[in-house]
Amino acid sequence: MARPRTTSDEQIFTATGEALRRHGLSGTTLAAVAREAGMSSAGLVQRFGSKRALLLAFAERAADATGACFAQARQRTDCALEALHEGLAALTEGLDSPAQLANSLGFLQLDVADEEFRRHAAANARRVESELEALLGEAVDARELDDGAEPQRLAHSVYVAYNGALVLWPLLGQAPLRDELRAAVDAVLLPHRPARPTRALPKEANA
């Protein structure tokens, strides 16, 4: 009878993300991931075979992890735009310093240079835009956004602003990453928010 696994694949993927944040792509060895996961390097090799195979498996589940982030955000609030903000913030959970963000963005080297990784990265990007589009559509229905807002186009603009804020934060950011992301996304959404009625001045003020 095979011995039961004491460390799940999900725990290993969590450890992989933590290793990437701490050590960057080049420093994320099987030994580093094994230490984060609390298991032996031999056990990790037996499970995945190589660093590339582990990172491919990590990349493959990214779209599902993205869906989970937005699903959890929806459970925390009934406001579509707040769920949008919370879902995007969850995608960067654990990135507390510019150095950690730089290490995580190093994964883009694989996404751009390797077709297998690029395919998974593209699937994840499409999943993010799909989640954003759904929430923006709900925001229009709930009158959090104007009727004229186009969820599909707006979702792409929001995602571009989000990624731009990620890149600029280590260079120009003055607030925590979560706040910088919210400000960048709000700047895109502001022209589509319903105008607030102007309060009439007291008669004495008009005299």
Give per-residue pLDDT as tens, 129-168: 999 999 999 999 999 999 999 999 999 999 999 999 999 9
- Binned at pLDDT 50, 70 and 90, residue 195 comes out as confident
Amino acid (1-letter code) at residue 66: T
User: 9-59 and 61-192 share one CATH topology?
Assistant: no
Whether pLDDT at 178 is above 90: yes
9-59 — its CATH code? 1.10.10.60
By three-state DSSP, how is residue 179 classified?
A: helix
pTM attached to this predicted model:
0.86
Distance CA 109, CA 121 (A): 11
Q: Which fold has domain 61-192?
A: Tetracycline Repressor; domain 2 (1.10.357)
Domain residue ranges in the chain: 9-59, 61-192
43-94 pLDDT, tens digit each? 899 999 999 999 999 999 999 999 999 999 999 999 999 999 999 999 998 8
Closest CA to 70 of 80, 59, 83, 79: 83
